[in-house]
Amino acid sequence: MQAIISDVHSNLEAFQAALDDIKRRGVSDIICLGDLVGYGPDPCPCIDLAAEFRLCILGNHEEAVLFEAQTQGFNPRATGAVKWTAKQFDMLGDDREANARRWDFMGAMPRIYSGNGTLLVHGSPSDPTREYIYTTDVRNPNKMERIFSQVEHLCFVGHTHVPGIWTEDMTYRSPEELDYVYRITANKTIINVGSVGQPRDNDPRACYVLFDGTMVRFIKVKYDVEATVRKIYAVKELDRSLGDRLREGR
């Protein structure tokens, strides 16, 4: 059994709640699909927790922290958060040894991983860190056919912060429509695992999936949203709206 998470976005309270839930279920194999950092107030401890995982894929926010020129297309709130996040990994301060390990960890993240017919990316097979696969893309057959042509069987993604399942017959289903369980078939399937730290499906709970090779189960976990909101408010470089949105999961 594996736990697959994504889009923690420096939200330590949500991350710890998800990890506690994973541990309670007896799962130790954890994979992250990127964006451990960005938007939130606790990038360093989130990176440190994820350093213990078997695999972490590069997200567009790690890419932006590593290569500042990669903030094209980011809105001002996201750009401001990236710049503040990069400063937390200062190599001239007292934490330089720990920060060196954090830079090395982010720099070693692969953009894509594949094995046994399963593809792992942050965004999409076409553009692993940047392209979004939206729920409405089932009405864009050219895009979806292009994406599915690069999928052998299964593809796990994050990036949109909205969990769900796409199948090659141009069908999208939300976790609620699936009663939170999807049984793997022979059809090509794309699974968005949702977001731990900044959900955008109008549900403020942290979201991740469990995967055992035959079934995907979507898990939602409550956490102390207000604790994260207060931390965001306390950092002047982080837009207060980044905290406000957590209350509604948007």
- CATH number among 3.60.21.10, 3.40.50.1260, 3.20.20.150, 3.20.20.10, domain 2-248: 3.60.21.10
DSSP 129: T
**Per DSSP, what are the bridge partners of residue 166?**
172, 190
Are the C-beta atoms of 79 and 86 separated by less than 8 Å? no
- pLDDT-flagged residues of the chain (< 50): none
pLDDT at position 82 is 95
pLDDT at position 94 is 82
Q: Domain residues of the chain, as ranges?
A: 2-248
Beta strand 189-192 pairing with 164-167: antiparallel
pLDDT at position 39 is 97
Using DSSP's 3-state secondary structure scheme, residue 158 falls into: coil
pLDDT at position 77 is 92
pLDDT at position 101 is 96
Query: What is the percent of the chain with per-residue pLDDT over 90, rounded to a whole number?
Result: 93
Report the amino acid identity of residue 121: V
pLDDT at position 69 is 56
pLDDT at position 187 is 94
Task: Provide the CA 220 distance to its chain's centre, in angstroms.
Answer: 14
pLDDT at position 48 is 98
Element (DSSP H or E) covering residue 100: helix 96-107
